[in-house]
Structure 1
Amino acid sequence: MLHRRLAALAIVALVCAGPALAQDKKPPLRTGVDGTFAPHAMPKLGGGIEGFQIDLFTEAAKRMKRDITIDAVSFSTLIPGMQAGRYDFIAAPTTVTKERAENMLFTAGYIWTSFQFGIKKGSAPIKGWEDLKGKAVAVNKGTPYEKLAKEMGEKHGFTVQVYDTQPDATQAVLSGRAYATLGGNTTIVYAASKNPQFIADLELKETRAHWAAPVPKNNPQLRAELQDALDCMKKDGTIAKLAEKWFGKKPDADDLAVVITPGYGVPGMPGYDPTPHELKCG
């Protein structure tokens, strides 16, 4: 009789514990990328997407002990999607600017970016903005490249063509609709490596900035958890290996792929938390 009662109590305990155990498991992280922004994210044979961002944040989620779902969408829909609650953070490479940092929290940067022009083979190299007078520059919609190109276009007398994806902007150059495209250095160099008719041209060194992961402004805990995972991946060389795999170049000693910055966020930007914290990597 005693054994029957103990068995019954054990069953009741398991039934009661079931929902609690289920509640302990956090739901999958929801995020998105621009699925045409090679080599960061791009379609793969057989379906799905692959690239630096996919490997980076799949591994980060694993270290956070979370599953992850990554949508491939247009970059211009990502920030509104996160602000509307559709995404927990943005996995697409996102340039940290003062304006953006006032409306979102950023992790520390995980890689440097700079602006670079791409031109068609045989075109005269670009030495400065003044060389673009009377020409057209193609850019990806909703990016800092669009913003800078429009500002400089008004000043130097060139037009700006806006496209939904960076490959579309590159194609505009190859087809002759635009003289050049302005984009991130990694994507321009990658496109040039895949098409001998496309040349990686002038890199604007003064535009070097952090690429980091944005999270909603009201979720500093997620920012901390995500940055801790990324920092641990810097510490053990994982990000450096991924960068070499996808960009074909080993990161320099001062690259954000290997440098761990203090605090949470990007120093000098709104939302930066300088509070020291101990990094615990499993």
Structure 2
Amino acid sequence: MKKAWLTLSALALCIAAGNTMAKEYKELRFGVDPSYAPFESKAADGSLVGFDIDLGNAICKELKVTCKWVESDFDGMIPGLKARKFDGVISSMTVTPAREKVIDFSNELFSGPTSLVFKKGAGFTADPASLKGKTVGYEQGTIQEAYAKAVLDKAGISTKAYANQDQVYSDLTSGRLDASIQDMLQAELGFLKSPAGADYEVSKPIDSELLPAKTAIGI
């Protein structure tokens, strides 16, 4: 996290060098999925809060422009960026070869491995074999979706897609899912620290080339 703040000026210049500043802008529009605490979520009063929100606001302050946050489900981020609905994506987006073919990225913000979340004592591990016959949920458009389809589905595991992470956790805590798969930092610093996550734990990081950890701003 500290690294992101130390490289704030570099990130601002990176954004300024792209299409974002091709003309005189008075505001920057950032796409955000507010279901991913502590990176981005909504406070009780409806305002957006979290690390990514603070980072975006700091970038706008550096560039002397107004920040406008555009809410979107995660699987709509890249289409929205390409359609110019917003100028950048600050929503815990992992850098992948497939994404680099269609959009650019800033310098790395942080490294976030992937893990499973499940009820304490369930006995699951990062090994897909431990989940055979179980149901695992994931957020659409994420790298975890690619892993679920390529690995979990073929390992005798039922997988289910959701529009956002809040929906994933809702079905997990209601018992409709045996486990969820998501960014490990998000799970540890967000869900597990919430009242709903008190009886849950995370697995060790999942080791797979389908699950890179480098996270950056999409531009």
TM-score normalised over the length of structure 2: 0.82
- Structure of greater relative contact order (alpha carbons < 8 Å, 6+ residues apart): 2
Task: Report the Cα offset of residue 57 of structure 1.
Answer: 1.0
Residue among 195, 213, 217 paired with 2:217: 213
Structure-2 change in CA distance of 1:47 and 1:167 (3 Å): closer
User: Which structure has the bigger radius of gyration?
Assistant: 1
Task: Report the Cα offset of residue 125 of structure 1.
Answer: 2.9
**Separation (CA, whole Å) in 2 of partners of 1:168 and 1:106:** 28
**Separation (CA, whole Å) in 2 of partners of 1:97 and 1:56:** 22
**Separation (CA, whole Å) in 2 of partners of 1:205 and 1:62:** 38
Counterpart in the other structure of 1:71: 70
Counterpart in the other structure of 1:54: 53
**Separation (CA, whole Å) in 1 of partners of 2:107 and 2:24:** 27
**Separation (CA, whole Å) in 1 of partners of 2:163 and 2:154:** 24
Partner of 1:105, secondary structure, is coil
Task: Report the Cα offset of residue 122 of structure 1.
Answer: 3.0
- Return the letter of the residue paired with 2:84: G
8 Å CA contact 2:126–2:206 kept in 1: the answer is: no
**Separation (CA, whole Å) in 1 of partners of 2:213 and 2:126:** 21
**Separation (CA, whole Å) in 2 of partners of 1:201 and 1:154:** 19
How is 1:76-87 mapped onto 2 (pairs within 5 angstroms)? Answer: 76-87=75-86
Structure-2 change in CA distance of 1:98 and 1:73 (3 Å): same
Report whether the alignment pairs 1:131 with 2:130: yes
Task: Report the Cα offset of residue 167 of structure 1.
Answer: 2.0
Counterpart in the other structure of 1:192: 192
- Give per-residue Cα distances to partners, 1:183-239, cap 9 Å, x unaligned: 001111121121212212232255442101111xxxxxxxxxxxxxxxxxxxxxxxx
Report whether the alignment pairs 1:113 with 2:112: yes
- Give per-residue Cα distances to partners, 1:117-154, cap 9 Å, x unaligned: 10012311314111111111100011111110111123
How is 1:174-193 mapped onto 2 (pairs within 5 angstroms)? Answer: 174-189=173-188, 190-193=190-193
8 Å CA contact 1:174–1:197 kept in 2: the answer is: no
Counterpart in the other structure of 1:41: 40
Partner of 1:37, secondary structure, is coil
Partner of 1:80, secondary structure, is helix
- Give per-residue Cα distances to partners, 1:70-104, cap 9 Å, x unaligned: 12221112111111111111111111100110111
Cα RMSD over matched residues? 1.6
Q: In percent, how many aligned pairs have the same letter? A: 26
- Return the letter of the residue paired with 1:211: T
Counterpart in the other structure of 2:142: 143
- Return the letter of the residue paired with 1:63: E
**Separation (CA, whole Å) in 2 of partners of 1:170 and 1:76:** 17
Task: Report the Cα offset of residue 168 of structure 1.
Answer: 1.4
Task: Report the Cα offset of residue 157 of structure 1.
Answer: 1.0
Which structure 1 residue ranges, 5 or more long, are not aligned? 1-23, 216-282
**Separation (CA, whole Å) in 2 of partners of 1:208 and 1:39:** 20
Where does structure 1 differ by over 4 angstroms across 4 or more consecutive aligned residues? none
Counterpart in the other structure of 2:206: 204
Which structure 2 residue ranges, 5 or more long, are not aligned? 1-22
Counterpart in the other structure of 2:9: none
8 Å CA contact 1:132–1:158 kept in 2: the answer is: yes
8 Å CA contact 1:106–1:213 kept in 2: the answer is: yes
8 Å CA contact 1:125–1:202 kept in 2: the answer is: no
